[in-house]
Amino acid sequence: MFDEVLNLFNSFFEKPFKVALISYYYPFQKPSTSGVGIHAYNLVTHLAKLGCEIHVFTNGKEDSKHNVHIEKGKIILHFLKSDFDFEVGDSVIQKRIRYAVFESKVLNEFLYENTRRRFDVIHTHGWLTSSAFMQKYLNNIPWVHTVHALERNRLSSMTEEEKKLFKVTSWIEDTLADADKLIAVSESVKKEVLNTFKGSSKRTVVIPNGVDLKLFNPSKNKSLNVLTVSRFSKEKGVDMLPEIIEGVLNANKKYTFTAILQETQIPTLKLVQDKFIELQKKYLGRFIWISRPLNVIELAKYYQNSNIYVQPSLYESFGLCILEAMACKNAIVATNVGGIPEVVGNSGILVEPKAKKITNEIIKLMRSPNLIKKYGSLAAERAKMFDWPIIAKSTLKIYKELSDKKSH
């Protein structure tokens, strides 16, 4: 009885740990193809369950605030409109202007919220870090950044349209040299960080991405289907997919192939979209292209109903879609680039990023149901290492260490 009264008394006077999380992408009540946004959403949800008060600064259709209570914690969503009233002919430039508007609004909103009660820590995701950089020095608040990828290292796998504004992204990314802590989502990304920011070894740690095992889990409703899920991006190897799809569907008439990739406006990638349309006509009912983003419940069903998952990436810092497919007991065929080998381990097949080699490995699996079953079981077991509650606790520990250090 005394303990209950004491806890109630303390709850009136002890303020929850206050986190500012900045992510342009955040899939609140809407589907998303952004791995960064999905990561941020899950991290925020599990930090709230640990009792934190998290303020999320994210892009929205209108400037607004929305409160969400989860168990012991609280989430305050600050939606900031970054659209403007005039059209820009170049979609890449238009996106960069939106990012600049967003960063300016984050700065204003953050300053106001910090005057109400000081933030204990700032945590940024993605490469939009200039507002956090300024807040660190204006208000002496510890700054953590999760490195999902380094833009400068994605350069070789970008389209020509994206490359022309690389100097802007690189300039902003240089602010990471001032972050108090850098969280790399894989050992591969950590190596990139250490090579780019000299002397950052003591402030760089690895905390992997996570998966919601309550949502992404095995199902008995498996069908003979090869699945791929990604952004419509050159770095994801989408230009190899038409050859892979045709090779797979010609090799086994019982199989279907499903590609979940949202349409793109980048001209050089529209040629791939045209090939997808041709393949839909050629393999009527056997090649399914879903060109809109799906919510997580819809997406989980596609993973659960497939038995082979393929990821032909040229650059991949982690591979969230691979992990989700693993949790749903899919046999994995993926490229041996970036952080993918750390995710897959020995629970799948890793090959060079070449269409013919990827296709051959998929065909080998299709011919061996026992091999599919073996790799699927290994993948589902390995996915348990990446459960979100584990990752959220590791992240909160870093927050509190920085906050305590700052207060001392």
Tell me the Cα Rg of the chain. 22
pLDDT by residue (tens digit) across 68-93?
999 899 999 999 998 877 776 677 67
Are 277 and 297 found together in one domain? yes
Q: Any idea which of 231-240, 334-343, 377-386 has the lowest mean pLDDT?
A: 231-240
**Cα-based distances in Å from 127 to 22, 148, 251:** 10, 9, 42
Residue 81 phi, psi dihedral angles, 5° rounding: -75, 125
Residue 63 phi, psi dihedral angles, 5° rounding: -70, 120
Predicted local distance difference test score (pLDDT) of residue 285: 94
What is the spatial distance between Cα 245 and Cα 281, in angstroms, rounded to a whole number?
13
Taking the CA of residue 191 as centre, how many other CA atoms within 13 Å lie in the half-sphere pointing to its CB?
6
308 versus 13: the higher-pLDDT residue is 308
| Range 207-217 average pLDDT | 95
304: containing domain: 225-386
What is the spatial distance between Cα 9 and Cα 3, in angstroms, rounded to a whole number?
10
**CATH code assigned at 97:** 3.40.50.2000
Are 334 and 377 found together in one domain? yes
Q: What is the pTM of this model?
A: 0.86
pLDDT at 46 over 70: yes
pLDDT at 7 over 50: no
CB 18 within 8 A of CB 118: yes
The reply to whether 4 falls in a domain is no
Are 203 and 266 found together in one domain? no
What is the spatial distance between Cα 176 and Cα 179, in angstroms, rounded to a whole number?
5
pLDDT at 24 over 80: yes
Predicted local distance difference test score (pLDDT) of residue 154: 63
| Range 103-115 average pLDDT | 94
Are 134 and 237 found together in one domain? no
What is the spatial distance between Cα 111 and Cα 139, in angstroms, rounded to a whole number?
9
CB 48 within 8 A of CB 27: no
Sign of CA dihedral 375, 376, 381, 384: positive
Are 346 and 236 found together in one domain? yes
The reply to whether 216 falls in a domain is no
Task: Output DSSP code: residue 330.
Answer: P
The reply to whether 219 falls in a domain is no
pLDDT by residue (tens digit) across 131-147?
999 999 999 999 999 99
Are 110 and 171 found together in one domain? yes
CB 196 within 8 A of CB 303: no
Predicted local distance difference test score (pLDDT) of residue 181: 97
The reply to whether 3 falls in a domain is no
pLDDT at 8 over 50: no
Are 176 and 248 found together in one domain? no
On average, the pLDDT of the chain sits at: 90
The reply to whether 125 falls in a domain is yes
pLDDT at 161 over 80: no
The reply to whether 344 falls in a domain is yes
Taking the CA of residue 272 as centre, how many other CA atoms within 13 Å lie in the half-sphere pointing to its CB?
27
Are 120 and 262 found together in one domain? no
Are 59 and 157 found together in one domain? yes
Are 296 and 332 found together in one domain? yes
What is the spatial distance between Cα 393 and Cα 408, in angstroms, rounded to a whole number?
23
Are 284 and 363 found together in one domain? yes
Predicted local distance difference test score (pLDDT) of residue 195: 93
Strands laid side by side in the 331-335 sheet: 287-290, 256-260, 225-229, 308-311, 331-335, 348-351
Total domains, the chain: 2
Percent of the chain whose predicted confidence (pLDDT) is above 90: 74
Predicted local distance difference test score (pLDDT) of residue 156: 58
The CB-based long-range contact list for 97-103 (8 Å cut-off, 24+ gap) reads 98/59, 99/24, 99/128, 102/24, 102/59, 102/128, 103/128, 103/130, 103/131
| Range 106-110 average pLDDT | 95
The reply to whether 255 falls in a domain is yes
CB 40 within 8 A of CB 77: no
Percent of the chain whose predicted confidence (pLDDT) is above 70: 91
Are 378 and 392 found together in one domain? no
Predicted local distance difference test score (pLDDT) of residue 84: 77
The reply to whether 217 falls in a domain is no
pLDDT at 10 over 50: no
